[in-house]
Amino acid sequence: MSKITSQSKDFSQWYLDVVKIADLADYSKVKGCMVIKPYGYAIWENIQSELDRLIKEAGVKNVYFPLLIPESFLQREKDHVEGFAPECAVVTHGGGKKLTENLVIRPTSETIMYDTFADWIQSHRDLPLKINQWANIIRWEMRTRPFLRTTEFLWQEGHTAHKDKAGADEEAYRALKMYEDFDKEFLALPVLTGKKSDREKFAGALYTLSTEALARDGKAIQAGTSHNLGTTFSESFNIQYQDENGELKRVWQTSWGVSTRLIGTLIVVHGDEQGLRLPPKIAPVQVVIVPILKDDSKDKVLAACNQVVSDLTNVRSEVDARDTVSPGYKFAEWEVKGVPIRIEIGPRDLENGSCVVARRDTGEKTTCELSQLFTVVPKLLKEIQDNMFAQALAYREENTRSADTYDEFKKVLEEHGGFILSGWCGNEDCEIKIQEETKATIRVIKEEEVKCKCVLCGSDAKNRVYFAKAY
Amino acid sequence: MSKITSQSKDFSQWYLDVVKIADLADYSKVKGCMVIKPYGYAIWENIQSELDRLIKEAGVKNVYFPLLIPESFLQREKDHVEGFAPECAVVTHGGGKKLTENLVIRPTSETIMYDTFADWIQSHRDLPLKINQWANIIRWEMRTRPFLRTTEFLWQEGHTAHKDKAGADEEAYRALKMYEDFDKEFLALPVLTGKKSDREKFAGALYTLSTEALARDGKAIQAGTSHNLGTTFSESFNIQYQDENGELKRVWQTSWGVSTRLIGTLIVVHGDEQGLRLPPKIAPVQVVIVPILKDDSKDKVLAACNQVVSDLTNVRSEVDARDTVSPGYKFAEWEVKGVPIRIEIGPRDLENGSCVVARRDTGEKTTCELSQLFTVVPKLLKEIQDNMFAQALAYREENTRSADTYDEFKKVLEEHGGFILSGWCGNEDCEIKIQEETKATIRVIKEEEVKCKCVLCGSDAKNRVYFAKAY
C-alpha cells in the first residue's frame, strides 16, 4: 500500500493521497471530471438515501428535468446568466447538424424548470409547489480536486414556489435546518449556518443561506446552500398565480442543494494521518472482520468470522478473507478506508471465545466476548458517531476566535486559520479589501443585533460575521 | 378531466393522452426531451430500487463515470462510432472557450469506461470486474414519444470484464435472466428473450440478447438488452490481464441496460380504455381511499379513511380528501393513474362497518368489512399483480402465430399484428426484404435446432425467429 503524505506537511497532497488510496475516486481523461469508484459511490448512495427520506418527509416530490437548456433561457435573467454563462459547457451540434440554438448543459436548473413552472402554476391552489431532483451538473472549472471542485458533480436541487415572501423565507430556512440536522446526525459534521453577503450569494437570489464546516487545515468549506430567490425568476419567466381574490400575483421561490462535495467535506473534516474516518451512519462498511489465519485453525477462524457477520443483523459488516496479504496490511488498508470498527479474530481469541475490537475514531483496542458482539457493536457504532461529532465540534470551537482590530484579525488568521468572528460595516469595499489582503472571505453573517465596530474601517458594524479562508 | 382517445381508434394518441392525463410527464421546450413529473418519477424510483437490489445481489457494484466523452474515444472502435456518432450531442465550447477536442455527451458509456478499465485490470485476480451506473443518456432522435423514445433518457448500464468467452456468455445470459425475472415479478410483463440478428445487434457487440414485450396494439417493444461484447473493446482500448501462467490476454466484456422506456412499456402493455393500469409492486400509490363526504358525517368518514391508511402498514395508501371535486371525478382520475385498488367509504358504509373495494385490473367491486382490510388488501394486491401478468401473457399467446409461407406471414401481420414465428435462412437479404415490404423485423431468434424453411426464400432455415412490427 502506498504511503499517505502527512497532513501537517502538505494537506492538499494528503487529501489526494486519501482519495486515491482509500479507493474513492479516480481521475478521468476528461479534464476536471472524476470517476467515482465503488467505495466512494457507496458513500454517496448512503447520503442520498438518508437525505432523500428527509426531503420527502418535508412534502417535496422528486422529478426529472432535461439536462440541456436553451441558451436563451439562461439569458432571461441578467444576474443569473452573468454568474453562470462563463462556466457553461455548450452543445452546438446534435444529430450530425449544427443546432439553430445552442444548448448549455445545466450548471443548475432554475431556468429550465421555471419555464415549466409557468405552466404548472395558475392558482393559489397550486402553491406551494415543492420539487427536487437528483442530477448531474457541469460547471467548467479551471482548478479541480476530486469531490471538492469538479467540472461534473452529482447533487440534489430542491425548487419551490410560494405565495409570498413569508412562504419562501420559511422554506429557505427549513432547507437550511434540514441540511444542518442531516450534517450533524448522519455526517457528524458541525456546521455554522447563516446568510451569505450579497457578494457571495447565488446569482439571481434575494439572499443565500449556507452551511459551513471547518476542515482540519483551518479552512472553511461550504457544504450546502439554500436560496430565497424572491421574485427574480417569476418576473423573468412570468410565473403568476391567481390569489383567493382573483388577483394575479408573482410567486416567490427558493432553491437549495448539496452535492458530492459532501464527500470531500467528510474527508477534510474527519480525516487524520492514517486516512479517512467515516461516521458509522454513512460508512459503506461499518465493521470489518479480519481473521488471523494459521494453517491448522484456518477453517474454524473463518467460520467464526462469518458467524459474526450473521450475528450483526442491521450492521453493514464484512470479512476480509484474502490470503494474499497479511493481517497488518489489511489493518492499514481498512484504516485508510475509515471503517469505524475493526474486529480481529485469531486462533487464541477463538479458544477464549473472544475477539479484539478496534475503534477507528480513537484507535482504542478492547477485548470483547464473541457472544456479546451483537449488543456491543451497535452501541459502539452510536458512540463513535457521537464522538466524531464531538471531536469535530471541539476542533471548530478551538479554532473559532474573535478579532476586534484588523491587526489582531491578520495575526489570528496567519497563526491559526479557522473562523474569525468580527464586526463588519456591511460595506462591500471592506469585504473586498479584506479578501484581497488576507484571502479571507465572509462565510456567514451572524443574524443578531450588535454594538461593535467594523474590523477594517472602524465604523459601526451592522453585523458580526464569520471570516475564514475557504475551499 | 380531459377525455382519453380510444385505444382502438388511435393507439398513439391514446398513449399520449394517458401520459398527459395520468400526470406522468410533460413536454419540455428542448426538442425531444421530456420532464418526468412526480407521479412518473415515483414509478421510476420504484423500478430503480427493486432492480438495484437485484444488480447488487449479483455482485455488481455501482460507480459513476463522466457524462462527457472525448470524440477520439468514440472513434477508437469502428462499428461503435458508426452506430452512435450520428446520434451524438457535441460540446464544442466550455468555460467560454472553444475546446481543443470536442466532447460528446454519452450515448452509452463503453468507451469512457473501458479507457479506465485498462488501468483497473492488470491481473486475473482483478477479474471478473462488474460495475453498474444509473445515469442520463443523450441520443439525438428525430421522432420522439415520452418514455418510448426520447433524446434524453435515464437508465442503468452494467459493464463487466471476464477472463474468457465462457465468463462473458454467462454474464450476458445472467443479466438477460435478471431482466426477464424482474419484468415478470415486478412489472407483470411477460417477455420473449433471445438473440438479436446481427443487423439488430448493438454497435460493436459479438451478439445482443433482448427482452421483448408485446404492446396492446400488436407491436413489439424492446424492453432491455444485454450484449456480449467479445474482445472488440478490449482490443481498441487495450484491456489486458496476466493469467495464472503469466501470459497476457485480452478480457471479454459485456454490457446490459434498461431505461425509462420500461415506463412506456408498462403503459402500452397494461393500459386500457380507462388509462393506465399499474402492477401493485411498482405503483406509487397502491390503494387510494375516496371518502363519500356529506356535511353531517364528514369528520367521521374522513377519520375512518385515515384509520384505513394507518391499518395498512407496508402498503402505499393515501386518502383523496379534496373537497373541490366529486367522488366520481376522483374515481375516474385514479383510474387513469392506474392505482390497483380503490376503497370507497361513505356514511352508510361506516354504519355497517364496511367499505367498497374496487379492483383496477378487472373493474370488479366488492364489499369488505373495514376490520378485515389489513388482511384483504395485501392478498388482493398480490392477486392483482399475478392477474396482470396472466392477462398480459394470455394476450401475447393469443397474438403469437406461426407462418410457414410468406403469403401467410403477410396475411397474419396485416390482420392481427403480434409476434409471428417463422423459419429464417439466416441471410440478411431476406431479413431486409421482409422489413422493407412489411415493416416487420426480427425481434429475437429462437435458439433451438430446427427443420423448416425460410419464410421468404424457402431455403433451409437456420432458426425460427419471432418477427413483429416494433416500436
Angstrom distances, CA of residue B179 to CA of A380, A406, B385, B460 = 40, 66, 17, 33
Residues A353 and A429 in one domain: no
Chain B residues touching residue A94 (CB < 8 angstroms): 88-90, 140, 151
> Can you give the pLDDT at residue B295?
85
Average of pLDDT values for B357-371? 97
The mean-pLDDT minimum among A140-144, A262-266, B217-221, B404-408 falls in: A140-144
Q: How confident is the model at residue A1 (pLDDT cuts 50, 70, 90)?
A: confident
Q: Please state at what angle helix B11-21 crosses helix B261-270, rounded to 10 degrees.
A: 120
State the residue range of the domain holding B302: 285-380
User: Same domain for A90 and A191?
Assistant: yes
- Domain boundary, last residue among A352, A380, A408: A380
CATH of the domain at B429: 3.30.110.30
Contact A41 B26 (CB under 8 A): no
Whether residue B299 sits in one domain with residue B151: no
Averaged over A389-409, what is the pLDDT? 98
B24 in a structural domain: yes
Mean pLDDT for A64-74 is 96
User: Among A345, A380, A415, which residue terminates a domain?
Assistant: A380
Average pLDDT rounded to a whole number, residues B209-219:
98
**Does B154 contact A at CB distance below 8 Å?**
yes
How far off is chain A from B51, nearest CA to CA, in Å? Answer: 15
Query: Residue B65 and residue A35: Cβ atoms within 8 Å?
Result: yes
Per-residue pLDDT of B235-254, as tens digits, reads: 999 999 999 999 999 999 99
Residues from chain B contacting residue A61 (CB–CB below 8 Å): 38, 41-42
Q: Is residue B394 part of a domain?
A: no
Residues A128, A251: Cα–Cα separation, whole Å: 9
Same domain for A82 and A210?
Answer: yes
- pLDDT by residue (tens digit) across A111-120? 999 999 999 9
Residue B277 inside a domain? The answer is no
Q: Do A35 and B116 lie within an 8 Å CB cutoff?
A: yes
- Over residues A367-382, the mean pLDDT reads 97
**Per-residue confidence (pLDDT) for residue B452, from 0 to 100:** 95
Is any Cβ of chain A less than 8 angstroms from the Cβ of B325? no
Residue keyed to cell 356535511: B295
At residue A220, what is the residue type? A
Reduced to 3 states (helix: H, G, I; strand: E, B; else coil), residue B106 is: coil
- Examine the pLDDT at A471 and tell me if it is beyond 90: yes
Question: How large is the average pLDDT for residues A42-57?
Answer: 98
Between helix B261-270 and helix B38-57 the angle, nearest 10°, is: 110
Kindly state whether residues A341 and A433 are assigned to the same domain: no
Q: Does residue B29 lie within any of the structural domains?
A: yes
Helix (H, G, I), strand (E, B) or coil at A459: coil
Residues A347 and A462 grouped into a single domain: no
- Residues B385, B279 contacting (CB under 8 angstroms): yes
Looking at the fold, whether A251 and A302 belong to one and the same domain comes out as no
State how far the Cα of A52 lies from the Cα of B282, in Å rounded to an integer.
Answer: 18
Q: What HEC string does A368-395 produce?
A: EEHHHHHHHHHHHHHHHHHHHHHHHHHH
Mapped onto helix, strand or coil, the DSSP state of residue B449 is coil
Determine the pLDDT at residue B79: 87
Please judge whether A112 and B28 are an interchain contact, meaning their C-beta atoms are less than 8 angstroms apart.
Answer: yes
The residue among A23, A55, A68 with the most chain B CBs within 10 A of its CB, best to mutate, is A68
The whole-angstrom separation of Cα A461 and Cα A455 is: 8
Contact A136 B68 (CB under 8 A): no
Residue A42 and residue A114 share a domain: yes
Nearest to B30 among A45, A96, A103 (CB): A103
Nearest to B87 among A29, A95, A142 (CB): A95
- Residue A152 and residue B87: Cβ atoms within 8 Å? no
Do B20 and B110 reside in the same domain of the chain?
yes
Question: What pLDDT digit, counting tens, does each position of B8-50 carry?
Answer: 999 999 999 999 999 999 999 898 999 999 999 999 999 999 9
pLDDT at A403: 97
What is the spatial distance between Cα B237 and Cα B76, in angstroms, rounded to a whole number?
Answer: 8
Asked whether residue B395 is domain-assigned, the answer is no
What sign for the dihedral angle of Cα B83, B86, B87, B89?
positive
B206 — phi, psi (to 5°)?
Answer: -70, -50
Kindly determine whether residue A30 and residue B68, on different chains, have CB atoms separated by under 8 Å: yes
Amino acid letter for position B146: P
Contact state of B95 with A125 under an 8 Å Cβ cutoff? no
Q: Check which CATH number belongs to the domain holding A326 and give it.
A: 3.40.50.800
Provide the number of CB pairs (under 8 Å) joining chain A to chain B: 154
pLDDT digits (tens, 9 = 90+) for B151-171: 999 999 999 999 999 999 999
Q: What is the pTM of this model?
A: 0.97
d(CA B135, CA A276) in angstroms, rounded, equals 27
Name the B residues in 60-79 with CB < 8 Å from any A CB.
Answer: 61-70, 73
Distances (CA, A) of A132 to A15, A66, A245, A302: 31, 13, 30, 46
In a domain, B199, yes or no: yes
Residue A108 DSSP class: S
Contacts of A44 in chain B (CB under 8 A): 64
Give how far A35 is from chain B: nearest CA, Å.
5
Mind listing the pLDDT tens digit for each residue in B88-119? 999 999 999 999 999 999 999 999 999 999 99
Burial class (CB in 10 A: 0-12, 13-18, 19+), A192: buried
Final residue belonging to a domain, choices A380, A415, A449: A380
A67 plus A204 within the same structural domain: yes
CATH number of the domain to which B111 belongs? 3.30.930.10
CA of B104 vs chain A CAs: smallest distance (Å) = 9
Task: With beta carbons under 8 A apart, name residues in chain A contacting B323.
Answer: none
Confidence of residue B80 (pLDDT cuts 50, 70, 90): confident
Closest by Cβ to B89, choosing from A26, A37, A94: A94
- Mean pLDDT, chain B, rounded, equals 96
Paired residues of A284 in beta bridges? none
**Are residues B186 and B40 located together in one domain of the fold?**
yes
Measured in whole angstroms, the distance separating CA B276 from the mean position of its chain's CA atoms is 15
Query: Residue A80: pLDDT above 90?
Result: no
Question: What is the structure's pLDDT at A142?
Answer: 86
Strand order in the sheet with B68-70: A68-70, A97-105, A89-94, B89-94, B97-105, B68-70
| Average pLDDT of the residues in A117-142 | 97
How many independent structural domains does chain A possess?
3
A127: in domain: yes
Question: Are B110 and B221 in the same domain?
Answer: yes
A83, three cell numbers = 454568474
- Residue A163 falls inside a structural domain: yes
